[in-house]
Amino acid sequence: MTLIQRPRRLRRTANLRRMVRETTLTTDDLIAPLFIAAGQHITKPISSMPGHAQLSVDQIHHEIDILMERNIPSVLLFGIPHHKDGHGSQAWDSDGPVPHAIRAIKAQAPELMVIADVCLCEYTDHGHCGVLTPEPGHGDVLNDPTLDLLGRAAVAYADAGADIVAPSAMMDGQVGAIRHALDESNHHQIPILSYAAKFSSAFYGPFREAAESTPQFGDRRAYQMDPANSREALREVDLDVVEGADMLMVKPAGPYLDVIHEVRSNYDLPLAAYQVSGEYAMIKAAVQNGWLDERRAAIESLMAIKRAGADMIITYYAKEVARWLAEV
Q: Residues binding ligand PBG: what is the number (CB under 6 A)?
A: 10
- Answer yes or no whether residue 207 interacts with ligand PBG by CB under 6 A: yes
**Which residue among 121, 154, 160, 269 contacts ligand PBG (CB under 6 A)?**
121
Omega before residue 252 within 30° of 0, cis: yes
Phi first, then psi: give them for residue 88, nearest 5 degrees. Answer: 70, 40
In sequence order, which ranges of 87-142 are alpha helices (DSSP H)? Answer: 97-108
Q: Annotated catalytic, 319?
A: no
Nearer Cβ to ligand PBG (103/208): 208
Binding of ligand PBG at residue 197 (CB under 6 A)?
A: no
SS3 192: strand
- Rounded distance, CA 269 to CA 187, Å? 20
The smaller minimum CB distance to ligand PBG, of residues 130 and 191, is found at: 130
Measured CA distances, 242 to 172, 174, 182, 237 (Å) = 12, 12, 16, 9
Whether the Cβ atoms of residue 127 and residue 70 lie closer than 8 Å to each other: no
Q: Is 54 in the site for ligand PBG (CB under 6 A)?
A: no
User: Footprint of ligand PBG on residues 144-173 (CB under 6 A)?
Assistant: 168
Binding to ligand PBG by residue 174, rule CB under 6 A?
A: no
Contact status, residue 249 vs residue 195, Cβ threshold 8 Å: yes
Closest to ligand PBG by CB, 145 vs 215, is: 215
Q: Which amino acid is at 240?
A: D
Regarding 277 and contact with ligand PBG (CB under 6 A), the answer is yes
Single out the residue of 276, 305, 312, 318 in contact with ligand PBG (rule: CB under 6 A).
276
Beta 43-45 vs 53-56: how paired, if at all? Answer: antiparallel
Check binding of 64 to ligand PBG (CB under 6 A): no
Q: Is 204 in the site for ligand PBG (CB under 6 A)?
A: yes
306 given a catalytic annotation: no
**119: contact with ligand PBG by CB under 6 A:** yes
Q: Residue 25 interacts with ligand PBG (CB under 6 A)?
A: no
Residue 34 Cα distances to 79, 148, 313, angstroms: 9, 25, 14
Three-class SS state of 193: strand
In the set 44, 84, 106, 198, the catalytic residue is 198
For position 236 contacting ligand PBG by CB under 6 A, the verdict is no
Report the distance separating Cα 327 and Cα 14, nearest Å.
15
Residues that bind ligand PBG (CB under 6 A): 117, 119, 121, 168, 204, 207-208, 220, 276-277
Show which residues are catalytic.
198, 251
